[in-house]
């Protein structure tokens, strides 16, 4: 089996319950698709057949993980961007039939090939910055055929690119026009037909619901979660983005992998997440684009040791953001995360939010060899710089996606 030995590296292993697990003057051996050894250069194993990569003290991190995106969709919503600048709110636009519904119309119209073509540059942008795992949600089809079409595109992206794609079914994202005033029947369609069909095609890794006054209420979400549970699928949820209606508590009662957004989550309710080891996924892109002022309960999350992940939320409405590095910077600037928390948020904690922490998210013996070499020495520079891409090499599952070539330091 091919072996690669990285030598003279500064390795942010992320194998530490709170920090970066930083190892200076260290090395890492990859055997096949797996990490075979990580440790100080003094203990470096002999490996005659390995390809040797001298990292010249550069930083190595795990492949980055964007654990919440909607990057398969038709069209754009630049018109709504202008409407919001003129003073209309995200909720008002949604109530007038725009918002998610307008992307639903464009997505239904697009063929699978067209959706794929539109998604490719969005994904490529993330990959260029060292992303090796990305979650992609459905939710702009809102009927069986079109939700399945979106998830097939997500699967095709995984087949075409060297990236792990986790596919999340978000049929309960918004009420489609044909079910106006008939949410219960739509939820029945989601539960009885859409989700089981998508699952039967092997297209569902997790199930998400948008729980909000402009989307679905608690009893409706509960119906979807019960079906997810009966199919053995893990749960995620968009909650407390615009108001506090108790979505995070419901999701964590169902042992959700993550609750996402949570600006309006009450600090007193954070212990409910801690009890269930649910990850809090913060989405600074949506906070920024919607010019939100309500901050998520960061200090309560820290106090209760709730794992915090961050993600781009790449979508055409609330977060047309396709940069994981800018997401890290925004999480620090807008939410006061430390650069270390931001890096944990796109590695080990993002892996947890996808249920992948036993194989991804840190550089430890036995884990998958998803590795990024950066033209940097200091980890905090990843979150600090804006508009610079220091990614110098990417290995995914033991294979070079972007081979590392020594250049500038
Ligand atoms: O994560 N909150 C709901 N869903 C997306 C936005 C979708 C859209 O506006 O198209 C979000 O912000
Ligand atoms: Fe989202």
pLDDT of residue 46: 87
Q: Give the residue ranges of DSSP H helices in 133-279.
A: 144-160, 183-189, 195-200, 218-230, 247-253, 270-276
Which of 292, 311, 278 lies closest to 137, judged by CA? 311
Q: Are residues 325 and 222 in the same domain?
A: yes
Expressed in angstroms and rounded, the spacing between residue 174 Cα and the centre of ligand 1 is 9
Torsion angle of C-alpha atoms 44, 46, 50, 56, degrees rounded to 10: 30
What is the number of the ligand 1 atom nearest to the C-alpha of 212?
2
The total number of residues written for the chain in this structure: 409
Expressed in angstroms and rounded, the spacing between residue 402 Cα and the centre of ligand 2 is 29
56 within a domain of the structure (yes/no)? yes
Sign of torsion over alpha carbons 10, 15, 21, 27: negative
213 within a domain of the structure (yes/no)? yes
Written as six digits, the tokens of 95 are 């109530």
Q: Are residues 229 and 93 in the same domain?
A: yes
Please, which residues bridge with residue 281 across strands? Answer: 260, 309
More confident residue, 407 or 13: 13
Q: Which of 318, 327, 353 to mutate to test the pocket of ligand 1 (most atoms within 8 A of CB)?
A: 318
CATH of the domain at 211: 3.20.20.140
Written as six digits, the tokens of 403 are 């081979």
The angle formed by the CA atoms of residues 220, 226 and 227, to the nearest 5 degrees, is 100
Instruction: Give the structural domain span for 39.
Output: 3-63+362-402
77 within a domain of the structure (yes/no)? yes
DSSP 43: G
Q: Are residues 247 and 153 in the same domain?
A: yes
Expressed in angstroms and rounded, the spacing between residue 321 Cα and the centre of ligand 1 is 12
d(CA 309, CA 350): 5
Q: Whose CA is nearest to atom 8 of ligand 1?
A: 317
Residues contacting ligand 1 via CB (< 6 Å): 70, 99-100, 103, 210, 238, 241, 286, 313, 315-319
- pLDDT tens-digit series, residues 350-369: 999 999 999 999 999 999 99
11-25, 43-57, 121-135, 255-269: range with lowest mean pLDDT? 43-57
Which of 199, 172, 198, 200 lies closest to 185, judged by CA? 172
Average pLDDT over residues 85-97: 91
- pLDDT tens-digit series, residues 55-77: 999 999 999 999 999 999 999 99
Q: Are residues 56 and 85 in the same domain?
A: no
- pLDDT tens-digit series, residues 305-318: 999 999 999 999 99
Q: Whose CA is nearest to atom 6 of ligand 1?
A: 318
- pLDDT tens-digit series, residues 162-205: 999 999 999 999 999 999 999 999 999 999 999 999 999 999 99
Written as six digits, the tokens of 80 are 């709504």
Q: Are residues 295 and 383 in the same domain?
A: no
CA 61 to chain centre: 17
Q: Are residues 102 and 30 in the same domain?
A: no
Q: Are residues 52 and 194 in the same domain?
A: no
Q: Are residues 269 and 366 in the same domain?
A: no
Expressed in angstroms and rounded, the spacing between residue 384 Cα and the centre of ligand 2 is 24
pLDDT of residue 408: 45
Domain count, the chain: 2
Expressed in angstroms and rounded, the spacing between residue 53 Cα and the centre of ligand 2 is 38
Q: Are residues 30 and 167 in the same domain?
A: no
pLDDT at 42 over 50: yes
pLDDT band at 2 (very low <50, low <70, confident <90, very high): confident
Q: Are residues 218 and 328 in the same domain?
A: yes
Q: Are residues 253 and 345 in the same domain?
A: yes
Task: Find the radius of gyration of the CA atoms of the chain.
Answer: 21
pLDDT of residue 239: 98
pLDDT at 409 over 50: no
Q: Which of 169, 313, 316, 327 to mutate to test the pocket of ligand 1 (most atoms within 8 A of CB)?
A: 313
Q: Which of 71, 72, 173 to mutate to test the pocket of ligand 1 (most atoms within 8 A of CB)?
A: 173
pLDDT at 23 over 50: yes
d(CA 169, CA 180): 21
Average pLDDT over residues 256-274: 97
CATH of the domain at 28: 2.30.40.10
What is the number of the ligand 1 atom nearest to the C-alpha of 94?
9
> Which residues make Cβ contacts (< 8 Å) with residue 290, sequence separation at least 6?
84, 90, 318
- pLDDT tens-digit series, residues 321-344: 999 999 999 999 999 999 999 999
Q: Which of 213, 214, 319, 327 to mutate to test the pocket of ligand 1 (most atoms within 8 A of CB)?
A: 319
Expressed in angstroms and rounded, the spacing between residue 207 Cα and the centre of ligand 2 is 13
Which of 381, 375, 383 lies closest to 57, judged by CA? 375
pLDDT of residue 407: 56
What is the number of the ligand 1 atom nearest to the C-alpha of 315?
10
407 within a domain of the structure (yes/no)? no
409 within a domain of the structure (yes/no)? no
From residue 17, how far is each of 9, 194, 196 by CA, in Å?
Answer: 22, 39, 37
43 within a domain of the structure (yes/no)? yes
Q: Are residues 59 and 70 in the same domain?
A: no
More confident residue, 46 or 351: 351
Expressed in angstroms and rounded, the spacing between residue 368 Cα and the centre of ligand 1 is 31
Quote the mean pLDDT of the chain: 97
- pLDDT tens-digit series, residues 109-141: 999 999 999 999 999 999 999 999 999 999 999
- pLDDT tens-digit series, residues 215-252: 999 999 999 999 999 999 999 999 999 999 999 999 99
Expressed in angstroms and rounded, the spacing between residue 169 Cα and the centre of ligand 2 is 12
194 within a domain of the structure (yes/no)? yes
- pLDDT tens-digit series, residues 50-59: 999 999 999 9
């Amino acid at each position: 089996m091919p072996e690669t030995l990285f030598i003279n590296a500064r390795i942010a292993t992320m194998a530490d319950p709170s920090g970066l697990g930083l190892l200076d003057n260290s090395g890492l051996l990859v055997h096949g698709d797996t990490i075979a050894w990580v440790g100080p250069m003094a203990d470096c194993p002999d490996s005659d057949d390995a390809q040797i990569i001298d990292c010249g003290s550069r930083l190595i991190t795990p492949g980055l993980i964007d654990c919440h995106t909607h990057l398969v969709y038709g069209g754009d919503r630049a018109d709504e961007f202008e409407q919001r600048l003129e003073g209309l709110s995200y909720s008002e636009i949604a109530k007038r039939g725009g918002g998610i519904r307008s992307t639903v119309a464009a997505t239904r119209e697009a063929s699978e090939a067209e959706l794929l073509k539109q998604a490719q540059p969005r994904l490529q942008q993330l990959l260029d910055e060292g992303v090796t795992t990305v979650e992609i949600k459905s939710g702009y089809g809102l009927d069986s055929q079109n939700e399945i079409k979106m998830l097939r595109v997500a699967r095709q992206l995984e087949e075409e690119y060297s990236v792990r794609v986790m596919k999340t079914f978000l049929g309960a994202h918004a009420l489609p026009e044909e079910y106006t005033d008939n949410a219960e029947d739509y939820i029945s369609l989601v539960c009885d037909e859409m989700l089981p069909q998508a699952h039967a095609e092997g297209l569902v890794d997790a199930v998400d619901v948008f729980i909000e006054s402009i989307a679905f209420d608690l009893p409706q979400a509960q119906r979807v979660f019960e079906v997810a549970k009966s199919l053995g699928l893990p749960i995620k949820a968009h909650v407390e983005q615009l108001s506090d209606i108790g979505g995070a508590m419901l999701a964590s009662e169902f042992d959700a992998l993550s609750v996402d957004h949570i600006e309006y989550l009450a600090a007193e309710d954070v212990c409910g997440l801690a009890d269930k080891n649910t990850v809090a996924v913060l989405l600074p892109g949506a906070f920024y684009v919607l010019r939100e002022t309500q901050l998520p309960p960061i200090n309560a999350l820290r106090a209760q040791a709730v794992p915090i992940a961050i993600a781009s939320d790449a979508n055409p409405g609330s977060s047309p953001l396709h940069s994981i590095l800018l997401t890290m910077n925004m999480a620090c600037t807008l939410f006061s995360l430390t650069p270390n928390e931001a890096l944990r948020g796109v590695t080990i904690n993002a892996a947890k939010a996808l249920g992948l922490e036993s194989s991804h998210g840190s550089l430890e013996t036995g884990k998958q060899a998803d590795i990024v070499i950066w033209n940097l020495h200091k980890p905090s520079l990843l979150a600090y710089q804006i508009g610079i891409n220091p990614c110098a090499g990417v290995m995914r599952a033991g294979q070079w996606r972007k081979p590392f070539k020594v250049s500038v330091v």
